[in-house]
Structure 1
Amino acid sequence: MPNTHQLSDRPRILVVGGGYVGLYVAKKLQKKVKAHGGIVTVVDPLPYMTYQPFLPEVAGGQIEPRHAIVSHRTHLGDAELVTGRVTAVDHDNRKAVVVPTEGEPFELEYQDVVMAAGAVTRTFPIPGLAESGIGLKTIEEAVALRNQVLERVETASMLPAGPERESALTFVVVGGGFAGIEAITEIEDMVRKAVSKNDRVEQDEIRFKLVEAMGRIMPEVTAEQAEWVVDHMRSRGIEVLLNTSLAKAENGKLELTDMTDKSSAGTFGADTLIWTAGVMANPMVRSTDFVVEQRGRLVTGQDLRLTNEDRTEVIEGAWAAGDISAVPDVTGGLPDGTCVPNAQHAVRQAKLLANNIYAHRYGVGRIKKYVHKNLGAVAGFGSWKGVAKVMGIKLKGAPAWIAHRGYHGLAMPTFERKFRVVGGWFLSLFFNRDTTQISDLQDPRGAFVEAATPKPKPEAKKDDAKAEAPKAEAKSSTAEAADKAEVAA
């Protein structure tokens, strides 16, 4: 058992997850709850929150990876932090099962619980996907992807013309939502810059393919804007395959299927497969006694309290927000009338949720309902390129790119991180994006292990052995003469 006696025994508000919702709720409540004799406890397997809209720019070398994350220890100094996962919640008894990164599972009692475990990558049982693909949901994936792409370009420059070289220079993104479009355009921008510095690779050798199962991309923008984005990508040499899905990803070969008639849409080699085909609510919600709706999210009222199935009764002491929750959206949203799972809703819900918990638990203020009209959408496609729809105004190209950076620069949590990100953007205006590959991240101890491993001594050469033979015979003769002299004496 872990040293659970080291955890606080004060009345606890348990925050399950330290992403957008968890960070903002804990940050706004930590001092207030502490002043009332309670404690805010955040349980998350990572010691930081990741600002996911920046991941494409991290993968494309536009943002320093550490600047896209927010440290829990730095900004949640008055909260109790537990590194681990909540794997089950028994709300009837106000207990949660925590599995720490080190040690045995233990139960943690609480007064209120905030379900903020967010979403995970949604995948399908495609042969070879788990072995060949990489997502873009974590900062680690973004860093690994950036280095893999740059490494493939460098490796290809030393390969002869043929299938192996073609596979190294082929980059495929599956998923035509915001994440997929931003990922493929940012990486394409970076690859073009890297190739311009390598005279052993030609620009026309690079192949980028976007695979989308639906008939259009980016449902968050208008159809007209989506068509413009497709035309823009194709003008950059990116092949956009609509109504197409990934069937197999085995042995370095990708097999596609035409969704209109289920026929084969081709097979080709590709060393880099990026999966951005959506997310789903964290499946840990099914290990709770809360109601889960058809999309796998927790049924949540407009005031962000968990409810019964038809939202007629609230569950005392249980709250949720962000991607894990099905919050009613009176201004539009998904076809079922709930909020779209995105950062814009998560951040705004988190701030309201913190105020509502404080009002309910300590009687300060009043509980309010979540109402937020989506102001629009912005997306960046590499340096000075993008698309946006802000308050009904359609933008594309450089104006959209500026709007994209302006919005996300302001939305990045904490002033410290805003300053670091914007400072990096400012420097990139003069020095352009960084195309330096960091090698051996998958095996960082490789160089040390090689240096510390004893090396076998080289065997003596045949010529050296022949030269040593007369010396050995001479020594033997001398020793035999000495023995004879001793006997004669």
Structure 2
Amino acid sequence: MTVPRILVVGGGYVGMYAALRLQRRLRRAEARVTVVNYDSYMTYQPFLPEAAAGSIEPRHVVVPLRRMLSRCEILNGTILRVSLAEKTAEFRPHEGPERVLGFDYLVFSPGSISRVLPIPGLAERGIGFKTVEEAIHLRNHVLGKLDVAASSSDERLRRRALTFVFVGAGFAGVEALGELEDMVSDAVKYFHGLRRQDMRWFLIEATDRILPEVGPDMGRWTAEQFRRRGIDVRLHTRLLSAENGHIVLDDGEEFDAETLVWTAGVKPHPLVRYGDLPLDSRDRVLANEFLQIQGARFAFTAGDTAAIPDLTRPGEFCPPNAQHAVRQARRMADNILATIRSRPCKPYRHRNAGSVAALGLRKGVGQIYGRELRGIVAWLMHRTYHLSRMPTFNRKSRILADWTLALFFRREIVSLGALQRPREEFELAARTTTPHRPAREPVTH
């Protein structure tokens, strides 16, 4: 008897939590679970701003899939195409030949990618903020620019190095800006010749408010707090160009900046377009309230790539956030088990509890069940909630240890820029080494 295969495409919130629940609840030989993800770990994205600011060790915000899902098969590489009709997926590992994976049940959750617009210079100059690699790079980059400014007497170069632009005022942009500005304000005292007022921070947002998830009042309060910290918040403003680091805004202002962080939204992973998945006008996979892909009772989807009906708001879809993704993953796993066991599935229903955002050390804003929170209370709520949602006791303990140590020691201000170029010094040594001339062979008579 062949054991049915459950193929999980993506190891993010949805994929990892669904596989974890299946791993715990499947009976022996009832099904085998295969998880395909590009990386061998899941990144807990709400902690990326704190990792970038040095409040949390970056390795502590990722969860190793092989340790977490010890009873699942983990494959690292890329899914190229999914066929519901044939129940197959084309898989390309990082090395070696491509192959076809068959499945009996499918969890389709490849996640999202940054929504990059065709703005001149953006692809060359922009830095995203969705992965732990980007968070580490941004931290090293910002601290590296402080090194550059403190070591130069060229005023134009210093001003360019100390100008930081963030485009997009959702959670990712606001939290990243808040944490990094807080870190730099603390670090600048160790850089001779630099002052906090030398820094120029810009938050560019095309709409009329920031942090729409916490409500208009809290969004306005956040903008006011940022302006008091010296951050230039520009609403109704778009980035027109960033060629060669020259920033051009549609309100007429132009200036140079070495740092451009792009957090202006996400879009479903391009994989959705390769195969026979039913899509809506925004390239989201169409699904019903049971999280089943339309027309395929054996295939399930959730998270950023899915259009899931919100039963608490008829006619609307569930927002693509971590709060829904984790709960959808659990319901999805239970519905897969129900399908395998020929039992009825249950619909997904969850009323949004609210949102909280951290704006730096001991600074936060939020709205929970209609109640507005601000300052240290919101900041503590943010840390408590996300610590409780962080997978594994191991990671919870490490993050808690990081926070505890931060009460007694200052944040590190070391820029490890060489992480992006680890072989540069070795290659330099190889280029400058004089070839050794072998000794002349002895003359024999």
**Structure 2-normalised TM-score?**
0.95
| Mapping for residues 93-104 of structure 1, pairs under 5 Å | 93-104=86-97
Q: Secondary structure at the match of 2:201?
A: strand
Instruction: Decide which of 273, 280, 286 is 1:286's aligned counterpart.
Output: 273
2:340 pairs with 1:347: no
CA separation in 1, counterparts of 2:351 and 2:230?
Answer: 36
CA separation in 2, counterparts of 1:439 and 1:251?
Answer: 21
Cα deviation for residue 282 of structure 1 reads: 0.9
| Mapping for residues 24-423 of structure 1, pairs under 5 Å | 24-33=17-26, 35-258=28-251, 265-307=252-294, 314-332=295-313, 337-363=316-342, 366-423=344-401
Contact 2:88 2:102 in 1 (8 A): yes
Cα deviation for residue 165 of structure 1 reads: 0.9
Instruction: Decide which of 404, 408, 413 is 1:430's aligned counterpart.
Output: 408
Cα deviation for residue 32 of structure 1 reads: 4.1
Percent identity at matched positions?
45
Cα deviation for residue 436 of structure 1 reads: 2.0
Aligned to 2:440: none
Q: Secondary structure at the match of 1:431?
A: coil
CA separation in 1, counterparts of 2:386 and 2:312?
Answer: 22
Show structure 1 runs of 5+ residues with no match: 1-8, 259-264, 308-313, 458-489
Q: Using a 3 Å threshold, how does the CA distance of structure 1 residues 347 and 248 change in structure 2: closer, same or farther?
A: same
Cα deviation for residue 136 of structure 1 reads: 0.1
CA separation in 2, counterparts of 1:366 and 1:316?
Answer: 11
Q: Secondary structure at the match of 2:419?
A: coil
Q: Secondary structure at the match of 2:203?
A: strand
Contact 1:121 1:135 in 2 (8 A): yes
Contact 1:193 1:435 in 2 (8 A): no
Q: Secondary structure at the match of 2:206?
A: coil
Cα deviation for residue 203 of structure 1 reads: 1.5
Q: Using a 3 Å threshold, how does the CA distance of structure 1 residues 222 and 37 change in structure 2: closer, same or farther?
A: closer
Runs of 4+ displaced beyond 4 Å? none
Q: Secondary structure at the match of 1:220?
A: helix
CA separation in 2, counterparts of 1:455 and 1:82?
Answer: 42
Cα deviation for residue 130 of structure 1 reads: 0.6
Deviations 1:121-179 (A, max 9, x none): 11100011010000000110000000000000011101124221101000000001111
Aligned to 1:3: none
Q: Secondary structure at the match of 1:85?
A: strand
Q: Secondary structure at the match of 1:66?
A: helix
The answer to which of 156-165 and 139-148 deviates more is: 156-165
CA separation in 2, counterparts of 1:78 and 1:386?
Answer: 39
Contact 2:298 2:339 in 1 (8 A): no
Q: Secondary structure at the match of 1:140?
A: helix
Contact 2:121 2:245 in 1 (8 A): no
Contact 1:118 1:322 in 2 (8 A): yes
CA separation in 2, counterparts of 1:288 and 1:377?
Answer: 35
The number of residues matched between the two structures is 434
CA separation in 2, counterparts of 1:116 and 1:189?
Answer: 34
Q: Which amino acid aligns with 1:25?
A: A
Q: Which has the larger radius of gyration?
A: 1
Cα deviation for residue 31 of structure 1 reads: 4.9
Q: Secondary structure at the match of 2:417?
A: coil
Deviations 1:305-353 (A, max 9, x none): 111xxxxxx41211001111111112239xx600111111000100111
Q: Which amino acid aligns with 2:301?
A: A
Aligned to 1:471: none
Contact 2:3 2:29 in 1 (8 A): no
Contact 1:64 1:424 in 2 (8 A): yes
CA separation in 1, counterparts of 2:20 and 2:220?
Answer: 41
Contact 1:33 1:40 in 2 (8 A): no
Cα deviation for residue 366 of structure 1 reads: 4.5
Contact 1:152 1:169 in 2 (8 A): yes
Q: Secondary structure at the match of 1:430?
A: coil
CA separation in 2, counterparts of 1:317 and 1:209?
Answer: 48
Deviations 1:267-323 (A, max 9, x none): 10000000000011112111121210112110111111111xxxxxx4121100111
Deviations 1:57-110 (A, max 9, x none): 111111111111110111111101111111111111111111111122211110
Q: Secondary structure at the match of 1:192?
A: helix
CA separation in 2, counterparts of 1:142 and 1:60?
Answer: 9
Q: Secondary structure at the match of 1:268?
A: strand
CA separation in 2, counterparts of 1:195 and 1:204?
Answer: 10
